[in-house]
Chain A
Amino acid sequence: MSTKKVDPDWLTIFIYLMLVAIGYLAIYAADYNELYPKAWDVARNYGKQFVWIGICMLVALIIQVFDTRFFTAFSYVIYGAVLLLLVATLFFGAEIAGSKSWIRLGFFNLQSSEFAKFSTCLALASFLSNKKTDLDNFKHQLIAAALILLPTLLILRQGDAGSAIVFVSLVLVLYREGLSGGFLLVGILAIVLFISSLLFEFPYIIGLLGFILLMTLVLRQGFQLRNMLFFLLPVVGIFVGSIYLEPLTFLIALGVAAILFLFITIVSKRYTVGLLTLTLFCSIYVKGVDYIFNNVLKEHHRNRIGVVLGTIEDKKGVGYNLNQSKIAIGSGGVWGKGFLQGTQNKGDFVPEQSTDFIFCTVGEEFGFVGSCILMGLFIILMLRIIALAERQKSDFSRIYGYGVASIIFFHFFINMGMTIGLVPVIGIPLPFISYGGSSLLAFTILLFILIKLDSERLLYLR
């Protein structure tokens, strides 16, 4: 066995260390106070984070000493244990900032949902790597869905919708492992339509819908130039139209385009029926979401969703955070204001600036250049993880690797997107950077299990 052991992937470890270091500096800058210039003070956020970084290094090392078989053999046990922890949190948890997702442990508050991420990846890897599992089989699809949905629902019950929605990203893993691409598209379609049906007028959504439908067809047709042109031209038309035209004009234009399109598709009858059915279903779905939102939900529910989606202006609450966050990042300019020189961060204009809005500090003090470096590190890390996953001999390790990539990607995209106003404000941390012991520890474990698996990639795990 020892002959099959290779070095751990130093590139991943290097990026990890870089990110953690950037995180520490960002938290230091966010919490910096010229009256207490000490670099190390356990009473302050950055001091605590320093301790956590130490703990994480230790845990990362310990993981490397484990036998790899431990993770395969005990994946369900770990999964079950974390589920129990989630349930326990529901009963004995402390409520902080509106969600009951914390267990008080005296010296720190443990956020159980963070640990559900790697445990779910392990369980999913274990299930999918089983030779008998077939993702075209409906029953197996259900089991895979259940493995993902169980922790999701428990975390949702805790009141932490942000952490719950993270698990949606694991659909990527299923897709990689052979789940029909249709599921991925339907999933994306459902989410996009849900949000857009609350945000936009009906005709705009139909425009978006058309875009997605045509993309589907393009992908199905394969990448032939003739098809690309044939489908992309109307797509671009609809997209541009949805931005510039008045809703009514656009609707009429869309109708005309649809009839034209219908004539064209008669040539290739194959798609016509499917296309029309899908359009019909999507329209019903959008109207349904609209109806539920306006007639079933209560006023305060509507308000909360509205604030999250930005349709309701809330200068004191969520809207305020986002606005301040954008000002901080935008004012950073190309080169940034310099380390510890950020006026917005200093003035504490940005709330939660060491946790969910930590990117504001980076964006303001290091500017576009700094942001690019940070983004570059993340992109390289994610692509590297996929590369690691693909070079695994055992299915278990590959699937787990994709799980890691999906979760880090989701966190990265949602968190960054939220600070610059691209996606609704969903409170989830930026991996390795945001302040918080539970989050840092959980992401470290998530990543270093993969590094451990990779270091024994020549070993064939069942």
Chain B
Amino acid sequence: METINIRRFIIQAIIILLSSVILIQLFIMQVTDESYAAMAQNNVIRDETIYPSRGQVIDRNGHKVVNNEAVYDIIFIPRQVQELDTNKLCQLLAISKTDFINNLKKVRKSKGYNPLRPQTLFKQIPASVFSKFQEYLYQFPGFYTQVRAVRSYPFANAAHLLGYIGEVNQKQIDASEYYEMGDYIGISGIERTYEKILRGEKGLRKNIVDVHNREIGSYLDGEKDKEAVAGQDIQLTIDINLQSYVEELMKNKKGGVVAIEPSTGEILTLVSAPYYDPNRLTGKKLGIEMAKLKRDTLKPLFNRALMSGLYPPGSTFKPLMALIGLQEKAFGPNFGYGCGGGYRLSASQVIGCHGHASAYNVKEAIKHSCNAYFCRSLYLFLENDKYPGGRREGLTKWVEHLADFGLGVKLPVDLPNTSKGMVPTSAYYDTVTYKREIPKSENEPKWKSNWIISLGIGQGELGVTPLQLAHMTSIIANRGTYYYPHIVRPEKWDTSSIYTTPYKVSVEKKYFDVVVDGMEGVVTGGTARIARIDDIAVCGKTGTAENPHGEDHSLFIAFAPKDNPKIAIGVMVENAGFGSRFGAPIASLTIEKYLTGEISEKRQALETKILEANLIK
């Protein structure tokens, strides 16, 4: 019995002891510590966010490309609402009563709902509707408005590169110090890459509120307030009229077109087809339109100009093959090679070529796009005696040169989601299992140069994006110097920008002349005579990317004029056959339009044919 009493005593002691701890803590907090009262005072200061206007966007010629349009959020403080005339409110805001009820429910259920704090009831009411509502706003106590801006696009073009803005998601809020629920953020295109410049900085106004949440005045006469900093405007390197014209040309086709000004690296146009009207992804319709675009089997959201890095460059690769072969002295500019209908791998295997005049030097080989010649070029390149590491080292050297010209590497363009394309390495070929075994020494690579010889003519395990095509062409046009391609003009004073620094490739300037001559020949008397423009010396190269799943892809690279080139272009049209069928006409029309501002009468038939062609069934 005695132990039992002790146990009762211990339990009572625990209760009293722990209760005393609470009591002591309460005494400390409520009686001795004054700081809580001060903190409570501060709590009565309510922060109000001031939203800056987002920067606007103009094209290289000063045309306004991205505008802000004022829309209005309808905000209410639930506890301040009195005798609400729901019918009238819905009618004024042009909203159905079910929408009103649903929104109200959603607001009440949302995380952090607080009936004493402002809650957003409707978002993005257009100005036309709002102006009517504003007259009657006084009849709705507890309702307020907040002006916000949505983007609008005077030209319905360039959706892929402009991108769009949307509300931040929880992940972005958690990851940043800046964003809060309901803020807008650039999700793709330049809206995303230049988010920090475009958005500006939110401001803060500290208001003192009374117990009933009414504003009494500003805290410390606004001493602690922060002005909002408006977003900066930016200027694109894009020519919006050219962009619009190329989009017309690419109508009803799939593919990408990128044009660059070689002397600056400025991207003049960047088209991915199929495209969509950027105005679709603004305001309230964003969600629905987004879902529609995502469902579209033609994948209009996919930016083919930057992201489709799986198509081989085909014969557009040949000028580059020639350049690096010359640089490595695998052959000289006067190296000749008899074609005879193709490149013979063995008695039974031939990489075919079309009938053409003989390729007695590099220039002629490019002009006639001789397959045998460039297979042989690659062979000579890889098996060059100067490499102690043999063809393995040869291939590594080849990969390095390609990277120099932007192939197989991610170009540092100021747009998100850029593909690096595909360039195979010797390590890759070492891991592939071949049907034929080489019974040679261990050090010898498992592969032979002839097995990968189609790389010389731009086929096989190569992949390039239209941007890479254009960049490579721009380097050739500039005879070896280049700027990284970019879409927004860097500030002139910004010397740290990678876009204002010139770079040089490893191929010396002297080797470019024969290659450029060859490319001129392609247009004057070679495979792309269709690309000829009177009075303008166009240099180009056709290409056809083999497509085992259907019609081949049509490729074309070009620049013009030959001296002091103003534009370099890369075109890729999916399932369009030979490079000369669609690639060359589209490229040359773009060049003509850009350089002369119009299409000559003589070529209008060609223009009409391209505009009307429909490659999407």
Bitwise, A63-106 to B at CB < 8 A (1) or not (0) is 00000000000000000000000000000000000000000000
**Count of A-B residue pairs with CB < 8 Å:** 114
Residue of A nearest to B29 (CB): A330
Within 8 A of A (CB), among B25-75: 25-27, 29-31, 33, 35-37, 39-40, 43-44
Residue of B nearest to A188 (CB): B14
Whether A420 lies near B29 (C-beta < 8 A) is yes
Whether A349 lies near B43 (C-beta < 8 A) is yes
A345 CB to closest chain B CB (Å) equals 10
A119 CB to closest chain B CB (Å) equals 22
User: Which of B15-23, B190-198, B568-576 lies at the binding interface?
Assistant: B15-23
Return chain A residues, CB-CB under 8 Å to B209: 347
> CB < 8 Å: which of B8, B11, B18, B211 contacts A346?
B211
Within 8 A of B (CB), among A312-360: 324, 326-334, 341, 343-344, 346-349
Whether A332 lies near B30 (C-beta < 8 A) is yes
Whether B21 lies near A331 (C-beta < 8 A) is no
Return chain B residues, CB-CB under 8 Å to A175: 7, 10-11
Query: Given A346-B211, A347-B211, A367–B116 Cβ distance below 8 Å?
Result: no
> CB < 8 Å: which of A33, A329, A343 contacts B26?
A329
B179 CB to closest chain A CB (Å) equals 13
Query: Given A334-B31, A363-B30, A413-B22, A344–B8 Cβ distance below 8 Å?
Result: no
> CB < 8 Å: which of A35, A329, A379 contacts B15?
A379
Return chain B residues, CB-CB under 8 Å to A420: 22, 25-26, 29
Return chain B residues, CB-CB under 8 Å to A386: 8, 11-12, 15
Q: Does B426 count as interface, using CB distance less than 8 angstroms?
A: no
Residue of A nearest to B16 (CB): A379
User: In whole angstroms, what is the CA distance A379 to B82 when docked?
Assistant: 44
Number of residues from A at the complex interface, CB < 8 A: 46
Return chain A residues, CB-CB under 8 Å to B115: 33, 348
Return chain A residues, CB-CB under 8 Å to B33: 330
Q: Does A7 count as interface, using CB distance less than 8 angstroms?
A: no
Q: Does A409 count as interface, using CB distance less than 8 angstroms?
A: yes
User: Which of A122-130, A153-161, A368-376 lies at the binding interface?
Assistant: A368-376
Most buried by A among B25, B36, B44, B116: B36
A270 CB to closest chain B CB (Å) equals 21
User: In whole angstroms, what is the CA distance A378 to B19 when docked?
Assistant: 9
Whether A334 lies near B29 (C-beta < 8 A) is no
Whether B40 lies near A371 (C-beta < 8 A) is no
User: In whole angstroms, what is the CA distance A413 to B115 when docked?
Assistant: 31
> CB < 8 Å: which of B30, B35, B213 contacts A334?
B30
Whether B40 lies near A327 (C-beta < 8 A) is yes
User: In whole angstroms, what is the CA distance A333 to B29 when docked?
Assistant: 8
> CB < 8 Å: which of B11, B19, B21, B23 contacts A176?
B11
Return chain A residues, CB-CB under 8 Å to B40: 327-328, 330-331, 343-344
Query: Given A331-B36, A331-B40, A379-B19, A368–B31 Cβ distance below 8 Å?
Result: yes
Whether A422 lies near B8 (C-beta < 8 A) is no
Most buried by A among B7, B11, B37: B11
Residue of A nearest to B5 (CB): A390
Query: Given A422-B21, A422-B25, A343–B80 Cβ distance below 8 Å?
Result: no
Bitwise, B195-221 to A at CB < 8 A (1) or not (0) is 000000000000001011100000000
A335 CB to closest chain B CB (Å) equals 10
Return chain A residues, CB-CB under 8 Å to B10: 175, 181
Residues of A contacting B: mostly: helix
Whether A343 lies near B211 (C-beta < 8 A) is yes
Whether A383 lies near B30 (C-beta < 8 A) is no
Within 8 A of B (CB), among A194-244: none
Q: Does B114 count as interface, using CB distance less than 8 angstroms?
A: yes
Q: Does B105 count as interface, using CB distance less than 8 angstroms?
A: no
User: In whole angstroms, what is the CA distance A34 to B22 when docked?
Assistant: 33
Q: Does A307 count as interface, using CB distance less than 8 angstroms?
A: no
User: In whole angstroms, what is the CA distance A409 to B39 when docked?
Assistant: 31
B26 CB to closest chain A CB (Å) equals 5
Return chain A residues, CB-CB under 8 Å to B36: 326-327, 329-331
Whether A34 lies near B26 (C-beta < 8 A) is no
Q: Does A417 count as interface, using CB distance less than 8 angstroms?
A: yes
Q: Does A172 count as interface, using CB distance less than 8 angstroms?
A: yes
Residue of A nearest to B19 (CB): A379
Q: Does B529 count as interface, using CB distance less than 8 angstroms?
A: no
Return chain B residues, CB-CB under 8 Å to A176: 4, 7-8, 11
B501 CB to closest chain A CB (Å) equals 41
Query: Given A386-B12, A390-B8, A422-B25, A333–B30 Cβ distance below 8 Å?
Result: yes
Residue of B nearest to A417 (CB): B22
Whether B44 lies near A347 (C-beta < 8 A) is yes
> CB < 8 Å: which of B30, B80, B114 contacts A348?
B114
User: In whole angstroms, what is the CA distance A409 to B17 when docked?
Assistant: 12
Return chain B residues, CB-CB under 8 Å to A341: 211
Q: Taking beta carbons and an 8 Å cutoff, which residues of A are in contact with B?
A: 33-35, 172, 175-176, 181, 324, 326-334, 341, 343-344, 346-349, 363, 367-368, 371-372, 375, 378-379, 382-383, 386, 390, 402, 405, 409, 412-413, 416-417, 420-422
14 contacts between A and B (CB under 8 A): A181-B10, A333-B31, A333-B37, A344-B40, A346-B212, A348-B117, A368-B31, A371-B26, A375-B19, A378-B19, A386-B15, A413-B19, A416-B22, A417-B22
Q: Taking beta carbons and an 8 Å cutoff, which residues of B are in contact with A?
A: 4, 7-8, 10-12, 14-16, 18-19, 21-23, 25-27, 29-31, 33, 35-37, 39-40, 43-44, 79-80, 82, 114-117, 209, 211-213
